[in-house]
């Protein structure tokens, strides 16, 4: 969805739409890849314009399909949030670089009378992807010896039985104390 700034009426505008399919693939830098899938996203936007400054209040509700960083199983992470952007027309290429942002408000620039709403939505969704996604805080991960998913039950391996590096460390500490 692109918004043409000159067509925003004085009283503002409200939009509601759904982003689905591969819409976000084209947002990626060329050659870039992401390790998640975005489910259909419900977007609602309130747009206000004062002179040529445009304020967007955007609500997004969607879910991501991610892989757990511990047990590697796929899981769904709900994502919802509201954020506000204030955009002013760009006067030159140098301005694109500096982007001030606050916790809740982001400032930015638009070019050629157009605001790419989907790009802002994508940016906000990206910000909510955890560095190390976990299917649950209590995820027990995989057995380091046999690779079994420990959430499904114990695999029967004896903890520490194989890891000789730990034994070496223990021996080293024991020697140091004597």
Give Cβ neighbours of residue 17 (< 8 Å, ≥ 6 apart).
1, 43
Report the site for Zn ion in 30-89 (rule: CB under 5 A): 68, 70-71
Q: How far apart are the first and last CA of the chain?
A: 71
Between residues 126 and 148, which has the closer beta carbon with respect to Zn ion? 148
For Zn ion (CB under 5 A), the number of binding residues is 11
Site stretch for Zn ion (CB under 5 A), options 3-11, 34-42, 118-126, 133-141: 133-141
* CA gyration radius, the chain: 24
Between residues 57 and 73, which has the closer beta carbon with respect to Zn ion? 73
Q: Does 155 bind Zn ion (CB under 5 A)?
A: yes
How far apart are alpha carbons 115 and 88 in whole angstroms?
A: 10
- Note the residues at the interface with Zn ion (CB under 5 A): 68, 70-71, 135, 139, 143, 145-146, 148, 155, 157
């Amino acid at each position: 969805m692109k918004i043409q700034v000159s067509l925003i009426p004085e009283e503002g505008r409200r939009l509601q739409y759904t982003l689905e399919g591969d819409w976000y693939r084209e947002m990626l830098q060329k050659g870039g890849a992401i390790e998640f899938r975005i489910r259909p996203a419900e977007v609602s936007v309130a747009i206000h314009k004062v002179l040529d400054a445009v304020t967007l209040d955007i609500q997004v509700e969607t879910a991501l399909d991610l892989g757990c960083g511990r047990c590697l199983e796929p899981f769904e992470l709900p994502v919802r949030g509201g954020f506000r952007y204030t955009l002013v027309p760009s006067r030159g290429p140098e301005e694109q670089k500096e982007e001030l942002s606050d916790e809740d408000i982001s400032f930015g620039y638009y070019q050629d009378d157009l605001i790419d709403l989907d790009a802002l939505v994508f940016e906000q969704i990206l910000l909510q992807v955890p560095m190390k996604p976990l299917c649950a805080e209590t995820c027990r991960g995989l057995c380091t010896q046999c690779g079994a998913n420990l959430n499904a039950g114990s695999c029967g391996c004896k903890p520490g039985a194989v890891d000789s590096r730990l034994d070496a460390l223990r021996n080293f500490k024991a020697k140091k104390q004597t």
